[in-house]
Amino acid sequence: MKLPIYMDNHATTPVDPRVFKAMIPYFTDTFGNAASRNHSFGWVAEDAVEKARKQVAELIGATAKEIVFTSGATESDNLALKGVAEMYAEKGNHIITAATEHKAILDTCKRLEKEGYKVTYLPVETNGLVDLDKLRAAMTDKTILVSIMYANNEIGVLQPVAEISKIAKERGALFHTDATQAIGKVPVDVIKDGIDLASISAHKMYGPKGVGALYVRRRNPRVQLTAQMDGGGHERGMRSGTLNVPGIVGLGEACAIAKAEMSEEIKRMSYLRDKLKARLMSSLDEVYINGTMEHRLPNNLNISFAYVEGESLLMGINEIAVSSGSACTSATLEPSYVLKALGAGDDLAHSSIRFGLGRFNTEEEVDYVAAKVIDVVQKLRELSPLYEMHKEGIDLTKVQWTAH
Amino acid sequence: MAYSDKVLDHYNNPRNVGSFDKKDPNVGTGMVGAPECGDVMKLQVKVNPATGIIEDAKFKTFGCGSAIASSSLATEWLRGKTVDEALAIKNTDIVNELSLPPVKIHCSVLAEDAIKAAIDDYKKKSENVGVESKAHA
């Protein structure tokens, strides 16, 4: 086993060597511009792009013509939201999303609000899921788009997208999902799930950084978008810019591998994740899981070690790459807004660690991580005045703190 | 973020971790910060009432590595100082000693507040003892 151990696969994943191998020729030998229609260099590149388009489509039950390549999921989210808002402005000006979405959605919505659109940010329940009745109540005749993520990037919870899309459709709204964390990890089917637009990223599924896609439905209904990038009219006019051929080939290959290996990988990830969870919870008291375990990505564990501050825990396990919702680890000095939205309290957000397992993690690594985390949490609790008070039976919620 | 060697040293080998009996009249306890802010420091001093010298100091901290280091360093500096000398410790001294980056300055402020709160608590207790003994006389 080699140190450091990477267990932050929601942030990014390494490129699978098979994906890398597929990409290599497109940097040097077959470097053509896929838009060059008059020579073989262009044709070879175009063939590679079209093969990748088919591979992406097949992973999610779509057709190749419904895939628009982008620079990544942030661009896909921007294109979906802004593109729909602009195209359907005459029909309505209302968008519904959720408080726990990624910033690529939330900040795009804020931009649209400045431009005069109305946005409803649905709260989530303590399990991290959207309440369907609250969604129904928020829908109006002016609602043109509902955008709810498939799987959350911090707590890994899977939203009931099929039910959400049904509610959106009953009122004539489109349904977009930021499926960055879900695609390639769990089965996503645009037909069964009733998805009209879906954002896809390559680097979260063992593909390269800097490439992604937006699924745009072509039938029942035919979704139209106003392009946000003007130029040569690539990607059926929805996204101009010379195609990133090696990146797109990598995304396609990553999708093909994910499709072939998903059922095995789900089993392996669930086993490792559940083992990690069981080890931590049997050795430590006052440990809380953030978000429902019932509807969750198989590779995610988000857990709060009460009375221990997240950054100090990361410092103690510095040979293990994971993330914390603690304010001290973020640039904003605010604890995770996702955990705050669950209503668990800021103190538990400060104590949270996100484990993101991946294809290349081994059982030996999981055992090492569990033992190391248990050891450091115990040491830090020896140092923690809050753990001492808890052991003395003091109710910390009733203490008069001197906030600073 | 990279931590300075001194922060790492205090984090890995925290000095004077522990607790004194809060009810001891010679012990002053300062508890500052709040769990929802991500830092709580408890700092205690044990004062020799005859000399006014801090003979021992202990801490427990919930917070980031810099908060742990700031309070650990504070206990080192407090031992052997008089109560008045202790009050002269400034957060900037801690910032300089630990090479804290700007985003961690609040950790040093919290440590200074904890020192002041602990001494304040000790002074209040010793005044009360004085009042009580007069009342009994």
Is the pLDDT reported for residue B132 higher than 60? no
Phi, psi angle pair for A45, to nearest 5°:
-65, -40
Task: Tell me whether residue B37 is one of the annotated catalytic residues.
Answer: yes
What is the rounded CA–CA span in Å between residue A200 and residue A73?
A: 5
Read off the tokens for A346: 């800021």
Give the model's confidence band at A347: pLDDT under 50 very low, under 70 low, under 90 confident, else very high: confident
Q: Which residues pair with A349 in a beta bridge?
A: none
Which of B40, B109, B113 shows the shortest C-beta gap to A385? B40
| Cβ neighbours of B10 in A, within 8 Å | none
Residue B130 counted as domain residue: no
Per the CB < 8 Å rule, is B17 touching A382? yes
Q: In terms of DSSP H, where are the helices of A115-244?
A: 132-138, 161-170
| pLDDT-above-70 percentage for chain A | 98
Give the model's confidence band at A403: pLDDT under 50 very low, under 70 low, under 90 confident, else very high: low
Per the CB < 8 Å rule, is B34 touching A383? no
Residue B135 counted as domain residue: no
| Cβ neighbours of B68 in A, within 8 Å | 312, 383
Read off the tokens for B57: 């100091």
Q: Are A200 and A274 in contact (CB under 8 A)?
A: no
| Cβ neighbours of B34 in A, within 8 Å | 401-404
Is the pLDDT reported for residue A348 higher than 90? no
Look over chain A and give the mean of its residue pLDDT values, rounded to a whole number: 96
| Cβ neighbours of B33 in A, within 8 Å | 401-404
Size of interface A-B (CB pairs under 8 A): 89
Task: Find the closest chain A residue to B38 by CA distance.
Answer: A350
Pairing of strands A5-6, A94-98: unpaired
What is the rounded CA–CA span in Å between residue B47 and residue B122?
A: 8
What is the rounded CA–CA span in Å between residue B31 and residue A404?
A: 12
Q: Are A305 and A353 in contact (CB under 8 A)?
A: yes
- Write down the pLDDT at residue A381: 97
Residue B117 counted as domain residue: yes
Is the Cα torsion angle A153, A154, A156, A159 positive or negative in sign? Answer: negative
Read off the tokens for A203: 């680097």
CATH number at residue B110: 3.90.1010.10
pTM: 0.93
Instruction: Using a CB–CB cutoff of 8 Å, tell me whether B105 touches chain A.
Output: no
- Write down the pLDDT at residue A344: 78
Range of the domain at B116: 5-125
Task: Extract the runs of DSSP E, i.e. beta strands, from A40-125.
Answer: 67-70, 94-98, 118-122
Per the CB < 8 Å rule, is A350 touching B113? no
Q: Are A291 and A156 in contact (CB under 8 A)?
A: yes
What is the rounded CA–CA span in Å between residue A389 and residue A399?
A: 10
Task: Find the closest chain A residue to B109 by CA distance.
Answer: A404
Residue B99 counted as domain residue: yes
Could you give the C-alpha distances from A69 to A118, A236, A238, A248, B18, in angstroms and in order?
28, 10, 9, 7, 58
Which of B19, B68, B109 shows the shortest C-beta gap to A388? B19
Is the pLDDT reported for residue B136 higher than 50? no
What is the rounded CA–CA span in Å between residue A104 and residue A87?
A: 20
The number of CA neighbours under 13 Å toward the Cβ of A12 is: 10
Instruction: Using a CB–CB cutoff of 8 Å, tell me whether B70 touches chain A.
Output: no
Residue B136 counted as domain residue: no
Pairing of strands A118-122, A143-147: unpaired
What is the rounded CA–CA span in Å between residue A45 and residue A43?
A: 5
Is the pLDDT reported for residue A327 higher than 90? no
Look over chain B and give the mean of its residue pLDDT values, rounded to a whole number: 91
Phi, psi angle pair for B30, to nearest 5°:
-120, 130
How many structural domains does chain B have?
1
Task: Find the closest chain B residue to A377 by CA distance.
Answer: B62
Phi, psi angle pair for A391, to nearest 5°:
-65, -30
Instruction: Using a CB–CB cutoff of 8 Å, tell me whether B64 touches chain A.
Output: yes
Model confidence over A94-144: pLDDT tens digits? 999 999 999 999 999 999 999 999 999 999 999 999 999 999 999 999 999
